[in-house]
Chains A and B, each alone.
Chain A
Amino acid sequence: MRSDSGHPDNEDHFLLVRSGGHRCAIPVEAAKLVTKAPKVYPLPSSALRLLGLAQVGGEPVAVVDLHAILDPDGCPGGGHELTVIVRTRSGGSAIGLAIDEAFGVISVGRQRQRSTDDPGWVTGRITMDGRTVVILDPEQLFVPASTD
Chain B
Amino acid sequence: MQAERRTSILRQWLGMAILTVVILVGGVMLEITSDGDKEEWYIDAWMVLGIAALASHLVLVSLPRVRLERAHRELEQRHAQQCTILEKSLEEMRHGDLVEFLGAVDQLPEVMSEAVQAAAQAISALVQQIQASSVEVATSAGTVHATSAELVEGASQQAAAVVEITATTEELARTAGQIATNASGQAEFVAKAQDAGNEGAHSLEGAVQGVGELRHGIEAIADRADILGKRSREIYRVLDLITEIAQETHILALNAAIEASAAGEHGDRFGVVAEEVRRLAERSRESVESVRQLLDGFSESIRSVVVATEEGSKSAVQVLEQSRSTQDAIEQLRSALADTAGAAREISLATDEQRTASNQVVLTLREISEVIQRTADSFQQFTSSAERLSGLALSIQLLTQSFRTDSGHSLKNQVLGWSDRLRDSTANLEVVEGVLADVVRNFPYIELAYLVDTSGSMVAFEVNRAVVDDHRLKVTVSPGQAYADRPWFQAVSRDQRTAVTPPYVSLLTDDRCFTIAAAVRNRSGAMIGILGVDVNVRSWTSI
A6 to B263 Cα, complex, angstroms: 7
A6, B251: Cβ atoms closer than 8 Å: no
Q: Is B104 an interface residue (CB 8 A)?
A: no
B251, A35: Cβ atoms closer than 8 Å: yes
How many chain A residues touch B (Cβ–Cβ < 8 Å)? 19
Q: Which residues of B contact A (CB under 8 A)?
A: 247-248, 250-251, 253-255, 257-258, 260-268, 271, 275, 278
Contact mask for chain A residues 69-106; partner B; CB cutoff 8 A; 1 contact, 0 none: 00000000000001000000000000000000010110
Question: Given contacts A2-B264, A28-B262, are A105 and B271 in contact (CB under 8 A)?
Answer: yes
Name the one of A29, A34, A36, A104 contacting B262, with C-beta atoms under 8 angstroms: A29
Q: Which B-chain residue is minimally distant from A17 (CB atoms)?
A: B254
B257, A105: Cβ atoms closer than 8 Å: yes
- Residues in chain A near residue B251, CB distance under 8 A: 34-36, 82, 102
- Residues in chain A near residue B250, CB distance under 8 A: 102
Q: Which B-chain residue is minimally distant from A31 (CB atoms)?
A: B258
- In the complex, what's the smallest C-beta–C-beta distance from A62 to chain B, in angstroms? 20
Q: Which A-chain residue is minimally distant from B282 (CB atoms)?
A: A104
A13 to B250 Cα, complex, angstroms: 18
Q: Which residues of A contact B (CB under 8 A)?
A: 2, 4-7, 13, 15, 28-29, 31-36, 82, 102, 104-105
B258, A105: Cβ atoms closer than 8 Å: yes
Name the one of A28, A35, A82 contacting B261, with C-beta atoms under 8 angstroms: A28
- Residues in chain A near residue B253, CB distance under 8 A: 104
- Residues in chain A near residue B262, CB distance under 8 A: 5, 28-29
- Residues in chain A near residue B278, CB distance under 8 A: 104
5 contacts between A and B (CB under 8 A): A15-B254, A33-B258, A34-B258, A36-B247, A102-B254
B264, A5: Cβ atoms closer than 8 Å: yes
Question: Given contacts A28-B261, A28-B262, A104-B275, are A6 and B254 in contact (CB under 8 A)?
Answer: no
Name the one of B247, B255, B258, B264 contacting A6, with C-beta atoms under 8 angstroms: B264
- In the complex, what's the smallest C-beta–C-beta distance from A117 to chain B, in angstroms? 29
B255, A34: Cβ atoms closer than 8 Å: yes
Q: Which of B258, B262, B268, B278 has the most CB of A within 10 A?
A: B258
A37 to B454 Cα, complex, angstroms: 161
A35 to B247 Cα, complex, angstroms: 10
Known A-B contacts: A7-B265, A15-B258, A105-B260. Give 14 more (CB < 8 A): A5-B262, A6-B266, A28-B258, A28-B261, A31-B258, A32-B258, A34-B254, A35-B251, A36-B248, A36-B251, A102-B254, A104-B254, A105-B254, A105-B257
- Residues in chain A near residue B271, CB distance under 8 A: 105
- In the complex, what's the smallest C-beta–C-beta distance from A98 to chain B, in angstroms? 14
- Residues in chain A near residue B266, CB distance under 8 A: 6
- In the complex, what's the smallest C-beta–C-beta distance from A17 to chain B, in angstroms? 9
Q: Which A-chain residue is minimally distant from B247 (CB atoms)?
A: A36
A29 to B263 Cα, complex, angstroms: 10
A5, B254: Cβ atoms closer than 8 Å: no
A104 to B253 Cα, complex, angstroms: 8
A5 to B266 Cα, complex, angstroms: 10
Q: Which A-chain residue is minimally distant from B263 (CB atoms)?
A: A6
A34 to B250 Cα, complex, angstroms: 10
- Residues in chain B near residue A32, CB distance under 8 A: 258
B275, A13: Cβ atoms closer than 8 Å: no
- Residues in chain B near residue A33, CB distance under 8 A: 255, 258
A34 to B254 Cα, complex, angstroms: 7
- Residues in chain A near residue B254, CB distance under 8 A: 15, 34, 102, 104-105
Q: Which A-chain residue is minimally distant from B268 (CB atoms)?
A: A6
- Residues in chain A near residue B261, CB distance under 8 A: 5, 7, 13, 28, 105
Q: Which A-chain residue is minimally distant from B265 (CB atoms)?
A: A6
Q: Which A-chain residue is minimally distant from B264 (CB atoms)?
A: A6
- Residues in chain A near residue B267, CB distance under 8 A: 6
Q: Which A-chain residue is minimally distant from B248 (CB atoms)?
A: A36
- Residues in chain A near residue B260, CB distance under 8 A: 105
- Residues in chain B near residue A5, CB distance under 8 A: 261-262, 264
A28 to B253 Cα, complex, angstroms: 14
A7 to B264 Cα, complex, angstroms: 6
B257, A104: Cβ atoms closer than 8 Å: yes
Q: Which of A2, A4, A6, A36 has the most CB of B within 10 A?
A: A6
- Residues in chain B near residue A29, CB distance under 8 A: 262
A125 to B266 Cα, complex, angstroms: 28
- Residues in chain A near residue B264, CB distance under 8 A: 2, 4-7
- In the complex, what's the smallest C-beta–C-beta distance from B64 to chain A, in angstroms? 191
- In the complex, what's the smallest C-beta–C-beta distance from B339 to chain A, in angstroms? 77
Q: Which of B248, B251, B261, B267 has the most CB of A within 10 A?
A: B261
A105 to B250 Cα, complex, angstroms: 12
A116 to B97 Cα, complex, angstroms: 168
- In the complex, what's the smallest C-beta–C-beta distance from A56 to chain B, in angstroms? 12
A31 to B275 Cα, complex, angstroms: 16
Q: Which 6 A-B pairs have the closest CB atoms?
A: A6-B264, A6-B265, A105-B257, A28-B261, A34-B254, A13-B261
- Residues in chain A near residue B258, CB distance under 8 A: 15, 28, 31-34, 105
A27 to B350 Cα, complex, angstroms: 112
- Residues in chain B near residue A104, CB distance under 8 A: 253-254, 257, 275, 278
Q: Which of A2, A15, A33, A105 has the most CB of B within 10 A?
A: A105
- Residues in chain B near residue A36, CB distance under 8 A: 247-248, 251
- Residues in chain B near residue A31, CB distance under 8 A: 258
- Residues in chain A near residue B255, CB distance under 8 A: 33-34
- Residues in chain A near residue B268, CB distance under 8 A: 6
A31 to B260 Cα, complex, angstroms: 12
- In the complex, what's the smallest C-beta–C-beta distance from B521 to chain A, in angstroms? 151
- In the complex, what's the smallest C-beta–C-beta distance from A120 to chain B, in angstroms? 24
Q: Which A-chain residue is minimally distant from B260 (CB atoms)?
A: A105
- In the complex, what's the smallest C-beta–C-beta distance from B24 to chain A, in angstroms? 207
- In the complex, what's the smallest C-beta–C-beta distance from B453 to chain A, in angstroms? 144
- Residues in chain B near residue A102, CB distance under 8 A: 250-251, 254
Q: Which A-chain residue is minimally distant from B252 (CB atoms)?
A: A34
